[in-house]
Structure 1
Amino acid sequence: MAERLLPTSAVGSYPQPDWLIDRTALSKQTPPRTKAQELWRVDPQWLEQAQDDATRLAVYDQEKAGLDIVTDGEIRRVSYSSRFANALEGIDHDNPGSRASRGGIPVSVPRVVGPIRRSHPVETRDVKFLRECSTRKIKITVPGPFTMAQQAQDDFYNDEEALALDYAAAVNDEIKDLFAAGADVVQIDEPYMQAQPDKARRFGVRVLDRAVAGVSGATAVHLCFGYALTMKTKARVYDFLTELEASAVRQISIETAQSDLERSTLKPLTKTVILGVVDLNDPAVESPEVIAKRIRRTLPYVPAERIVVAPDCGMKYLPRHIAFGKLRAMVQAAEIVRTELTGAAEGR
């Protein structure tokens, strides 16, 4: 059966319920790099059960909105990177380090005191649970090794590339287990490749390829300019993007809505583009036609056969009803453009 034209997907996160996590406190700080267990509102003995229930809600919303590819909403995570990064060996959990955030603010981060190793699977239960919740294609996300290296205080390696490569080996082990557990797509989140483009050019692709070495499933890398909550204005061009054409990942996830990205920068890419077309900085739900226009603007540079339609980034910080409305409008927009393309093809 042929793949659906312009399939729709979430990027990763979906709003967590207020009864599960302190969303107000979460929104007033840089996304935590350490465990930040105090943000959970459920007693530890019931937390996994509560997270299961909230995950079911996230999947239900995505399916009701009409998405073709769903995620677990990253419901079990305080932030996109902290859960995995703090599950690895080589971290001193009792004495965290400090490092400047993407916005230049000092934040608490994992302190590396020994070799970074993955001693056990971290997200395989997440995938198995998600597979039980949905018959649609499923995607799971993992934090990228380049980004984790930039979000840590290195008191052991004294070599950023060596540190990143060991993070990559840990991510590689995790990705293989995630596909074995039933994932259709595994996405590697690498926002710091955009934030630190000079370092990314030096060793970013090498590190990313180590993370997907020997992996046969569909892998994606997500680049972004930062959460809309903290990044109100964004550049129109990525400082690091076309370099990923040389990487082994199959898909590249980018944002174009809030940034009004210059679409011609996508022309050199031959990989599948997960196209962000939903503005997460806009508190209103865009109309399907507004989102359809964003899709159409990309078609001269990336053929529809290589586009997956998605929000700009994770939807973690939006009110749930707004997130759902935006996903539903996005699905309708994809259908508008899909119908146009199909009709044009039949008319030739």
Structure 2
Amino acid sequence: MPSLPPLPTSIVGSLPQPEWLVDHEKLAGQFPPRVRAREIWRVAPEQLAGAQDDATLLAIRSQEDAGLDIVTDGEIRRESYSNHFATALDGIDIDHPGSVLNRSGKSIPVPRVVGPVNRPRPIQADDVRFLRAHTDRTVKITVPGPFTMAQQSQDDHYGDDRELALAYADVVRAEIADLFAAGADIVQIDEPWLQARPEVARRYGAEAVTRAVEGAPGPVHLHLCFGYAAMVSERPEGYSFLPELADTPVDTVAVETAQSHLDPAQLRPLRGKGIALGVLDLSTPEVETPQVVADRIRRALDDVDVERLVLTSDCGLKYLPRESAAGKMRSLAEAAAVVRAELR
């Protein structure tokens, strides 16, 4: 892994996809899709892979131009953070989807589990290779976590929600190994439903995360969030599932603090882990000044291990205008430089 400065900067995962690639009105109508949503792509199927490569290059350059230290592929090839991976597995019927209730209590179509969940091949290894080939910075790739995928599917095979989550953990574990082998420096698993379904998560969420991450050949971050700001406008002031992650083998826990105004004292149970601190408010396209972002960073310095602190956005930037996302990333990089100087 390339050397990183103190307080390295990154985004959590997603960046806005160009209008020439994705129909944003159709994308917003899916919010975000759990099964396939091929209709959002503006490019013909036979030209789509090349167009996604071009847009991914733009995403990489935008992060480099902003001055970020850890670069992702922006999740440009994905219709959502989870369906790109979840619908590529065996044992899943996406042509006859099931349904679950989302955070808002609305029934949404989801993959239906009809047999043993298996991974027929590495799913995102080529994405990592492309990313690694086009930047010399530290690279991070994201994959949906096992608990979240289990909650976003209808089980018509296992008959036990814990067993389903552990089956997803096994495929995530195998994917993580292949992602590091393909050149990833950091792998992030996205687990927003640990927060959305804390009662269920307390029964086996930490177990599923541990099974997916244990023995990983590199550092694994776990992103715990309240959902996209475009979809979930109201943020609670605290996490319902956070101390439970202290004994899991994840290296770093990514949390949101900007829009939620999270009390940093809630992070103290995780003092043994790295914290990726979300300090960009994505509920508005307005670009915060570096001074505002720096103040959000300073609030947490007494409650985290500063030597293991990473500075990030809140949840993904996918639903923001591209110019807003670029401006927010620049403010993040400039704020990090300010706080680094203060800590010398």
User: What secondary structure is seen at the aligned counterpart in 2 of 1:74?
Assistant: coil
Matched, 1:327 2:329: yes
Match of residue 223 from structure 1: 224
Q: Aligned letter for 1:211? A: A
The residue correspondences of 1:97-176 to structure 2 (distance < 5 A) are: 97-176=98-177
Amino acid at match of 1:98: S
Structure 2 Cα separation of the partners of residues 297 and 314 of structure 1 = 22
Gap runs ≥5 in structure 2: none
8 Å CA contact 2:146–2:208 kept in 1: the answer is yes
Separation (CA, whole Å) in 1 of partners of 2:217 and 2:92: 30
> Is the aligned partner of 1:95 residue 2:96?
yes
> What's 2:214 paired with?
213
The equivalences for 1:37-56 within 5 A come to: 37-56=38-57
Write the distance in 2 (CA, Å) between the matches of 1:203 and 1:146: 8
CA distance in 2, matches of 1:280, 1:257: 8
Which secondary structure state, in structure 2, belongs to the residue aligned with residue 237 of structure 1?
coil
Q: For residue 29 of structure 2, what is the aligned residue in structure 1?
A: 28
Q: TM-score, normalised by structure 1?
A: 0.97
Q: What is residue 199 of structure 2 aligned with on the other side? A: 198
Give the Cα–Cα distance (whole angstroms) in 2 for the partners of residues 2 and 46 of structure 1: 37
CA distance in 2, matches of 1:136, 1:2: 9
Is this contact kept in 2: 1:9–1:309, CA < 8 A? yes
Change in 2 beyond 3 A, CA 1:325/1:116: same
Indicate yes or no: 2:313 matched with 1:308: no
Structure 1 unaligned spans of 5+: 343-348
Q: Which consecutive segments of 4 or more residues in structure 1 shift more than 6 A? A: none
User: Could you tell me how far apart the structure 2 residues matched to 1:230 and 1:214 are?
Assistant: 35
Normalising by structure 2, we get a TM-score of 0.98
SS at match of 1:273: strand
* CA displacement at 1:78 relative to structure 2: 0.2
Q: How many Å apart are 1:282 and its aligned residue?
A: 2.1
**Counterparts of 2:136 and 2:285 in 1: how far apart (Å)?**
31
- The aligned amino acid for 2:119 is R
Instruction: Report the residue type matching 2:333 in the other structure.
Output: V
Given residue 276 of structure 1, which amino acid in structure 2 is its aligned partner?
Answer: G
Could you tell me whether the CA contact under 8 Å between 2:188 and 2:221 is conserved in 1? yes
How far is the alpha carbon of 1:198 from its aligned partner?
Answer: 1.1
**Partner of residue 246, structure 1:** 247
- Output the CA distance in 1 between the equivalents of 2:285 and 2:51: 28
Partners in 2 of 1:268 and 1:108 — Cα distance?
A: 36
- Residues 253 and 276, structure 1, Cα contact 8 Å, conserved in 2: yes
| Alpha-carbon distance, 1:99 to partner | 1.1
RMSD between aligned alpha carbons?
A: 1.0
Q: Take 1:161 and 1:172, find their aligned partners in 2: how far apart are those partners?
A: 16
1:85 deviates by 0.3
CA contact (8 A) 1:5 1:305 kept: yes
Q: Aligned to 1:274, which of 246, 253, 276? A: 276
The answer to whether the 8 A contact 2:113-2:157 is kept is yes
Measure how far apart 1:105 and its partner are: 1.0
Specify the alignment match of 2:320 in structure 1. Answer: 318
Which residue identity does 2:193 align to in structure 1? Y
Check the 8 A contact 2:281/2:313 in 1, yes or no.
yes
Which one-letter code corresponds to 2:230 in the other structure?
A: L
1:98 deviates by 1.1
- Of stretches 15-24 and 57-66 in structure 1, the one that deviates more from structure 2 is 15-24
TM-superposition CA deviations, 1:144-170 (whole Å, max 9, x none): 110000000111111011000000101
- For the residue of structure 2 that corresponds to 1:267, the secondary structure is helix
Three-state SS of the structure 1 residue aligned to 2:46 is helix
**Corresponding letter in the other structure for 2:154:** Q
> Residues 298 and 145 from structure 1, CA distance in 2 versus in 1: closer, same or farther, beyond 3 angstroms?
same
1:293-304 equivalence runs, <5 A: 293-304=295-306
Q: Which amino acid aligns with 1:279?
A: D
Cα shift at 1:93: 2.4
Task: Report the 3-state secondary structure (helix = DSSP H, G, I; strand = E; otherwise coil) of the residue aligned with 1:91.
Answer: strand
Structure 1 Cα separation of the partners of residues 265 and 36 of structure 2: 40
CA distance in 2, matches of 1:311, 1:46: 32
Shift of residue 74, structure 1, vs aligned partner: 0.2
| Secondary structure, counterpart of 1:94 in structure 2 | strand
- For the residues of structure 2 that align with 1:186 and 1:304, how far apart are their CA atoms? 21
1:289 corresponds to:
291
Report the Cα offset of residue 103 of structure 1: 1.4
In the other structure, the counterpart of 1:346 is: none
Deviations 1:302-336 (A, max 9, x none): 13212100000110000000000000001000110
Contact 2:274 2:305 survives alignment (8 Å): no
What SS class does the counterpart of residue 240 from structure 1 fall into? Answer: coil
